[in-house]
A and B are shown apart, each in its own frame.
Chain A
Amino acid sequence: TQLLEQSPQFLSIQEGENLTVYCNSSSVFSSLQWYRQEPGEGPVLLVTVVTGGEVKKLKRLTFQFGDARKDSSLHITAAQPGDTGLYLCAGDQGGSEKLVFGKGTKLTVNP
């Protein structure tokens, strides 16, 4: 079973559109991280959220950590082709000392 479920699995949109991708779990995490990975490259950390209800903004990207610390969302405003990539969430359960990754959402932004 997958500890972290990401949805949608694939998303193809036009430049300028807004989108939201989700990272859900039935487990509580002490923190959640979001990464973007481009084809043939390693993941690059975008943000870490640690407090339930926390909202962090990174330019056009808005990250939210659920109040119960079981889920997170990433909202992109006015998407650009440069936002294309695989968005991965990863969670720290606290006691496991191991970061667990979701399968990712593959985003394509068409010009």
Chain B
Amino acid sequence: GAVVSQHPSRVICKSGTSVKIECRSLDFQATTMFWYRQFPKKSLMLMATSNEGSKATYEQGVEKDKFLINHASLTLSTLTVTSAHPEDSSFYICSVGSGRTSTDTQYFGPGTRLTVL
């Protein structure tokens, strides 16, 4: 399967600042990537589907202006959490999809732990 990396692995920021998380597909041309958020004792929740060269598709309830996704190449998608607040603290995980939907095989990155103070 695909090897997926995320950077940074953990980040602490002050409330009101913006944080960028990178997701890289190291050995697979990723037309589609997915961004998830995982809160303690909660399910892994799909936030958005990132499509190379086009706009991301956001899930209901996810603010596209707050969670900016850019997928400019077949190996890199970025998630920027703008004006972060403590309630945005979570574990953010990206995945590389083998197809265009999340029901196709996905290869997950190691995640990024975001803590907003």
A-B pair number, CB within 8 angstroms: 51
Q: Is A46 an interface residue (CB 8 A)?
A: no
Q: Is the interface of A mostly helix, strand, loop or mixed?
A: loop
Could you tell me the distance between the alpha carbons of A34 and B79 in the complex, rounded to whole angstroms?
26
Interfacial chain B residues near A41, Cβ < 8 Å: 110-111
Could you tell me the distance between the alpha carbons of A35 and B1 in the complex, rounded to whole angstroms?
14
Interfacial chain B residues near A43, Cβ < 8 Å: 44, 93, 108
B1-49 residues with Cβ-Cβ distance < 8 A to A are 1, 4, 6, 9, 41-46
Interface size, chain A (Cβ < 8 Å):
23
Interfacial chain B residues near A42, Cβ < 8 Å: 4, 6, 93, 95, 108-111
Interface size, chain B (Cβ < 8 Å):
23
Q: Which of B4, B95, B103 has the most CB of A within 10 A?
A: B103
Q: Is B105 an interface residue (CB 8 A)?
A: yes
Q: Is B115 an interface residue (CB 8 A)?
A: no
Instruction: Decide: B46 and A99 in contact? CB cutoff 8 A.
Output: yes
Instruction: Decide: B108 and A98 in contact? CB cutoff 8 A.
Output: no
- Across the two chains, which residue of chain A brings its CB closest to B102? A99
Contact A98:B111 (CB < 8 A) given known A42-B95, A92-B103, A103-B41: no
Interfacial chain A residues near B9, Cβ < 8 Å: 40
User: 8 extra interchain contacts, Cβ-Cβ under 8 A, other than A98-B102, A102-B43, A104-B43?
Assistant: A2-B43, A40-B110, A40-B111, A41-B110, A45-B1, A92-B103, A98-B101, A103-B41
Q: Can you list 23 A-B pairs, Cβ within 8 angstroms, ordered by A?
A: A2-B43, A9-B41, A40-B9, A40-B110, A41-B111, A42-B6, A42-B110, A42-B111, A43-B93, A44-B108, A45-B1, A45-B106, A92-B103, A96-B103, A97-B101, A97-B102, A97-B103, A98-B103, A99-B102, A99-B103, A100-B43, A101-B45, A104-B43
Binding site for B on A (CB under 8 A): 2, 4, 9, 31, 40-45, 48, 88, 90, 92, 96-104
